[in-house]
Amino acid sequence: MADAAPILHMISPLSQVSPFDVNMAFDAGYARIAPYAHVTLDEMRALTQDMMFSRPPAAAARTALFIGGRDASLALDMAEAARAALFPPFEISIFPDPSGAFTTAAALIAKVERRLAGRRPGALTGAEVKVFGATGVVGSIAAVIAAGAGARVTMVSHRGLTPVEIKAAEFRRRFGVELSGAGAETDAEKADLLAASDVVLCTGRAGIEILSAPLIAAAGRVLVAADVNAVPPSGIAGIGAYDDGAPLANGTGAGIGALAVGDLKYRVQQALFQRLLAARQAQFLDLSVMFALARELA
């Protein structure tokens, strides 16, 4: 059974499994995909063990569980619940990537790090990073990855300080990284944050401009600005979706657009599916694995 056919189980707490992830899995080579919607955290142990025990141990590594949805914390909890259900010799592979956000965040920080190299000693180490729209799934995970890479990260919200402080406190506990929070509802508040930033990330809702052209032009310290919004207008004025190091209006920085990040994200997610397909031992694909691969492919 070592050559048993690979099976991918795709779980979501939402009303449907994302077609994006299904397409990615098919294109990576999976021919057998089983989707499950409306899955709750309490159901994870039983479902995982059904996946484990229905195949002999020699085929365990040919069985993989993908966890989707749109909530980073819930996906992480689901992954841990599934992992806790495993024991030798029935371990299966686990890949959490809700809304594709974990691989997007890994790609985003890898692209930023590459652009910082040569512009700033130590690249991300000690860099002041501001993440606008940080209460969302991509922004919060990007903040975690950047902090883990040595950056000093501030998670920024336009909806007041409380939501982002709650998220920062949760992820400090969960990941053991230092994160701070800030509110920025006005241009004056945004300008103050930009004045103390080496890197600016915009991960807010699609089609909403968060940082205007005058704000970017006046942010002389910013070395890299990156936006993950591909729906016009961009989150950062002046950054095109395909930009990959284009000059910023401040005269010193480089801009990275959503589709430049998206190209790397696509390659990371597909390569991880292919890694699971080829695996002969169970894999647990956490943020460190995703970021290491994004760095390699950047």
What mean pLDDT do residues 33-46 have?
98
Question: Does 277 have pLDDT greater than 60?
Answer: yes
Rounded average pLDDT over 9-26: 97
Percent of the chain with pLDDT over 70: 99
Q: What is the pLDDT of residue 120?
A: 93
* Average per-residue pLDDT for the chain: 96
Question: 75-97, pLDDT tens digit by residue?
Answer: 999 999 999 999 999 999 999 99
Query: Would you say how long the chain is, in residues?
Result: 298
**Which residues neighbour 26 within 8 Å (Cβ) at sequence distance 6 or greater?**
33
Cβ proximity of 155 and 142 under 8 Å: no
Full-model pTM: 0.96
pLDDT at residue 181 is higher than 50: yes
CB 276 within 8 A of CB 8: yes
Q: Is the pLDDT of residue 2 over 60?
A: no
Q: For 115-139, how does the pLDDT look when each residue is reduced to its tens digit (9 = 90+)?
A: 999 899 999 999 999 999 999 999 9
Give Cα 68 to chain centroid, integer Å: 12
Confidence category of residue 159, pLDDT binned at 50, 70, 90: confident
pLDDT band per the 50, 70, 90 thresholds, residue 98: very high
* pLDDT value for 40: 98
Nearest Cα to Cα of residue 294 among 194, 149, 87: 149
Return the number of other C-beta atoms located less than 10 Å from residue 263's C-beta. 15
pLDDT tens, residue by residue, 233-248: 999 999 999 999 999 9
Q: Map residue 201 onto helix, strand or coil.
A: strand
Asked if 272 and 290 count as a contact pair (C-beta separation under 8 A), the reply is yes
Read off the pLDDT of each residue in 254-266 and give the average, rounded to a whole number.
Answer: 98
Mean pLDDT of 269-284: 96
Domains defined along the chain, listed by start: 7-96 (3.40.50.10280), 103-261 (3.40.50.720)
Phi, psi of 90 (to 5 degrees): -105, 20
What is the per-residue pLDDT for 1? 47
The token duo for 177 is: 């990284």
- Return the DSSP state at 211: B
Looking at residue 62, the DSSP 8-state letter turns out to be G
Residue 160 is predicted with a pLDDT of 84
Place of tokens 């795709």: 10
What is the spatial distance between Cα 69 and Cα 79, in angstroms, rounded to a whole number?
Answer: 12
Q: Sort strands 254-256 and 244-247 into parallel, antiparallel or unpaired.
A: antiparallel
Arithmetic mean of pLDDT, 192-211: 96
The model's pLDDT over 140-150, given as tens digits with 9 standing for 90+, comes to 999 999 999 99
Contact 72, 42 (CB under 8 A): no
> For residue 68, what are the contacts with CB-CB under 8 A and spacing of at least 6?
10, 11, 12, 14, 17, 18, 21, 75, 97, 98, 99
The whole-angstrom separation of Cα 295 and Cα 250 is: 27
- pLDDT for 4: 84
Q: Where are the beta strands (DSSP E) in 90-162?
A: 93-96, 128-132, 152-157
Check residue 252 and give its pLDDT.
94
Phi-psi domain of 160 (left: phi exceeds 0; alpha: psi -120 through 50; beta: other):
left
- Statement: residue 39 has pLDDT above 70: yes
